[in-house]
Amino acid sequence: MPTYTFILNDNQVSVDCDGNVRLLWVLRDILGVTGPKYGCGLRVCRACTCHINGLAFNPCSVPVSQIKPTDKITTIEGLAATDPTGENGLHPMQEAWLKKDVAQCGYCQPGQIMTAVALVKELQSEGREVTDADLDKIRNICRCGTYYRIREAIKAGAKNM
Amino acid sequence: MAVRLTERGFSLAAHHDPSDNSDAQSSGLDRRRFLGFLIAAPTLAVGVQFIPGLAGRQAADASIITPPEPEEIFDLGDAQDLAAAPTAGLITVVVNPDGTASFAAIRTEVGQGMTTAIAMIIAEYLDIEVHQVSITLADARPELLLNQLTGGSNSMRSQYTPTANAAQLAKQQLVAAAARKWNVSPSALRTASGTVIHPDGRKAGYGELATLAAVTKTRRVALPEFKAKDRAEFRILGHPTPRIDAYDIVTGQKTFCTDIQVPGALPTMVARPPTINGTVVSVNNTEAILAMPGITDVVPISTGVAIRGQTHGQCIDAIQKIKVTWGPGTVDSYSDSTVLSALVAAEPPFLVPPVGDLTTEGAFTFYFASNTPLEPDNAIAVVTPTSAEIWSCLKVPIDALQDIAIQLDLPQDAVTVHVAEGGGSFGRHLFHDAATEAVEAAQKIGKPVHLMWSRTDTFRQGRTHPMAISRVQATTLLGNVVTYQQYHTDVQTSFSHGLGEILTATAASLPIVGNFTFAETIFLLSQSSPYNFGVTTQLLNEIPLEFNTGSMRNIYSPNAVTAEELIVDQLAAQFGQDPVAFRQAFLKDSRVLAVLNKAAEVGNWGKTMPAHCAQGIAVHSEYQAAVAVLVEINCTPQVVNRKVHNGYTGPRVTKVLVVADPGFCINPLGFEAQMIGGVEDGIGLALTASMHLQNGLFLEGSWDNFFYTREWNTPPDIQVIITNTSSSPSGAGELAVAPTFAAVACAYARATGTMPTSFPINHGTLGFTPYPAEPSTPQSPTDGLKYTF
Ligand code: FES
Ligand code: FES
């Protein structure tokens, strides 16, 4: 069985598995990293959203064979370490999530936060503020209907990023 | 009824108000009796057992203009409270040597904030901080029998008093231990945030005292007289408190059932039939599937073919390749149109025949809708010949335990059921479908499994809110509404989760006469017209089609209330009255009137709106709470026709104002969250979210097919105002759904000039390309790296 190596939350990891297995299952079922959630396996719900080299992506739709040894994968568990300037060493977006008490069941929230961070970074690189139109483009599902607080938290978190 | 003619515009407050709980002692807080226990443990552990008391609310007196309907004098929550009482067991608060408190909740946390609210109650009455309370979810406890059920929004109502009693008993014991230690009278001591304080300033921490207060033999003790604090005295209750699990959630550490790792319980998924409830005739390539990478086991079970493997992804791969001969399902000949015809054919004629111009009527169709939460149904099962251990998110764990014991032919005490936290529920976890499957698969395979449904399974084979027609007819005479009839006909809602036994058990106590079926009882208990519309008749009629149904953040109210409120707007127009003025004139409950007035005032009702834009307003009263919702909708062509790739746009609700009176609101922050969630559900039900049935299969297979509200549908402006009018907490999880749905429907009617009669309004056009019926779970894409941002 082939071995795949990559950098997961700043640590080098290796897994032995079939190259066709989507990265989400490598993370969850093999490595036991369960922050990224399964909500569809179809790149629809975005509950699995993580970062690859700082960009948001959906590991449910990427075979592990496509991940290079130098790729840096960040899951929600490793997000704080990328910018620990929020309270208690959290990422400013996580802090904003706490301040607005966004979560209900919480199942979608790791993906929501990872999407939010990437979105804000993208807008910042374009020199833009977050607008309602930008927020309308977010595809992450929240079946508990926390969208309103998500929007408030993203606007607040962006100010500290 | 004639009284109405002369009394329009008077204050309803003077009338008997069946939901007036202003006297807390006689209603919410002192309705049951409790026994106190000190439990043998190395630290202080106290227990409270609640025993039957009197349901406190009296039948309404005869002065009411329209006779009260059952829901008004005795609602579903009451019935559950009462049903719970005779069989309830012990709940315990443990004060740990580090001064923190632990409590195993006998309710299930699925996002509604129950654990936070319970922690607040304990912190308030024990006098510690919320973060010092840890709440776990109790395993199924058969001795609790029917009290271990989370549904009908009764958690807070039934848990408040016993929990507060237990916390107060624990505090009393800590004070007594300090009094012994210092040789003073307990009454000389006071507490403050986890310490007992001597008049001379000496302090002792709860942790130290907990060890001193420990007992070696369990014994019954007199409960201190329960002093329900005055609202003004509350340090924690009634104050906005963030969720106790928020930190774990934002750091990815909260453990949902899908995240639980049990040794050997490998991922297991099910290849499912191409129609609802189809069966396996034969699996035709078992060997080939077993040869696939990672796959360990393939066995037919009652609902499909269970495939166990090293990763879920490999199970999905196997589902692509498996060849199965399927038997027919239970509703193969049904599509939307045939179910609709069956419902229409089953509708009984109204008792009051239509009388020309004096009659206003409407028939409203509500299509199937999925109650799937975001976390798919899943369960872990470890089954041996003599025992079974199960983990799943279950709102009625005792029901699951009993069924599983029967399924495996094991005594109940050989079955352990752990309650996992759920990523949402919305009615889905009242049932234990995944646990049943996991147990069957684990037994047949002979190995532990973690069985998970795919997203497509959750839509296509999972439970749905049943399709329904609500037909309303009102008769008017001389500026009055003299009869109101509402007949609700739906595909049978399943109540196989024990709620049935609960109410059956208490049927004698219900103030309903006659031989109603269980569903009719629920309907009558949860529906009531808030209006003085003369002779009011509301009936439920169910057709027994074999769909897998269940409630969805409420059972009947969202549909029934929407139908009623649309007709109310029609009546207002017929009377030449503004919708708010009409409601003010005809509402019979002072609390409902108060929230309506507040919403109209704060929401600036009647303001000028641009073309194709309108306001809508609706009220609702249920679970002893009252709520009004005012919305603004934009139906301009540029908004309706905006494009989102693979998404449905349509009209946009731009503003929502919720004014809610829950009686007493334990946690305003959590309550507001529940209102906001309910708003998003209501918008979805009105505009976008439904299931399309075609030849025995629902076509929806993902969230880009089932159009639950998305960011591009969400209102950019939501405001929630909470008013507290009593000391009695009521349910929150479902409260905002019905009035939001109704308000959006009413606003849409006003914006477009056409009253919608079929929901959601976009149901007529299929806005997506369905996944094929087989494979039952579509393959995951491989091009995810093309879409980074
Ligand atoms: S699980 Fe990856 S997008 Fe839904
Ligand atoms: S918080 Fe439950 S799905 Fe978003």
Quote the ligand 1 centre to A26 CA distance (angstroms). Answer: 14
CATH assignment, B28-55+65-243: 3.30.365.10
Tell me the pTM.
0.90
ipTM of the complex: 0.98
Whether residue B711 and residue A149 make contact (CB cut-off 8 A), yes or no, is no
Give the least confident one: B364-378, B515-529, B621-635. Answer: B515-529
How many Cβ atoms from other residues are within 10 Å of residue B271's Cβ? 30
Contacts across the A-B interface (CB distance below 8 Å): 235
Whether residue B714 and residue A147 make contact (CB cut-off 8 A), yes or no, is yes
Residue A74 at interface with chain B, using a CB cutoff of 8 Å: no
Pick B311's closest partner by Cβ from A25, A101, A149.
A25
User: Mean pLDDT throughout B485-492?
Assistant: 90
Higher pLDDT, B106 or B154: B106
Tokens of B370: 């999925």
Q: Which CATH class is domain B257-331+377-452?
A: alpha beta
Q: Is A142 in the pocket of ligand 2 (CB under 6 A)?
A: yes
Pick A101's closest partner by Cβ from B110, B669, B702.
B669
B103 min Cα distance to partner chain A (Å):
20
B750 min Cα distance to partner chain A (Å):
25
Radius of gyration of chain A (CA): 15
Closest-approach residue (CA) in chain B for A150? B711
- Residue A159, burial from CB neighbour count under 10 angstroms (0-12, 13-18, 19+): exposed
Q: Is A46 in the pocket of ligand 1 (CB under 6 A)?
A: yes
Closest-approach residue (CA) in chain A for B684? A145
How many Cβ atoms from other residues are within 10 Å of residue B544's Cβ? 8
CA dist., res. B344 & res. B727, Å (int): 44
Quote the ligand 1 centre to A111 CA distance (angstroms). Answer: 9
- Residue A115: phi and psi, rounded to 5, are -65, -45
User: Could you identify the atom of ligand 1 that is nearest to the CA of residue A45?
Assistant: 4
CA distance readout (Å), B521 to A17, B158, B510: 55, 20, 9
B643-654 per-position pLDDT tens digit: 999 999 999 999
Higher pLDDT, B327 or B109: B327
CATH assignment, B336-370+463-759: 3.30.365.10
Residue A123 at interface with chain B, using a CB cutoff of 8 Å: no
Helices B76-84 + B499-506 axis angle, to 10: 80
B429-447 per-position pLDDT tens digit: 888 999 999 999 999 999 9
B653-712 per-position pLDDT tens digit: 999 999 999 988 999 999 999 999 999 999 999 999 999 999 999 999 999 999 999 999
B367 min Cα distance to partner chain A (Å):
19
Closest-approach residue (CA) in chain B for A65? B782
The residue among B644, B775, B763, B764 whose CA lies nearest residue B704 is B644
Tokens of B375: 């976390």
Residue A131 at interface with chain B, using a CB cutoff of 8 Å: no
Domain ranges of chain B: 28-55+65-243, 257-331+377-452, 336-370+463-759
The reply to whether domains B257-331+377-452 and B336-370+463-759 share a CATH topology is yes
Q: Please choose from A48, A97, A100, A108 the residue to mutate so as to test ligand 2's pocket, defined by most ligand atoms within 8 A of CB.
A: A108
Q: If you ran DSSP here, which 8-state letter would residue B139 be given?
A: P
Higher pLDDT, B454 or B139: B454
Give the least confident one: B99-108, B189-198, B466-475. Answer: B99-108
Q: Which domains does chain A have, with CATH numbers?
A: 3-76 (3.10.20.30), 78-159 (1.10.150.120)
B16-41 per-position pLDDT tens digit: 233 333 333 333 333 346 778 888 77
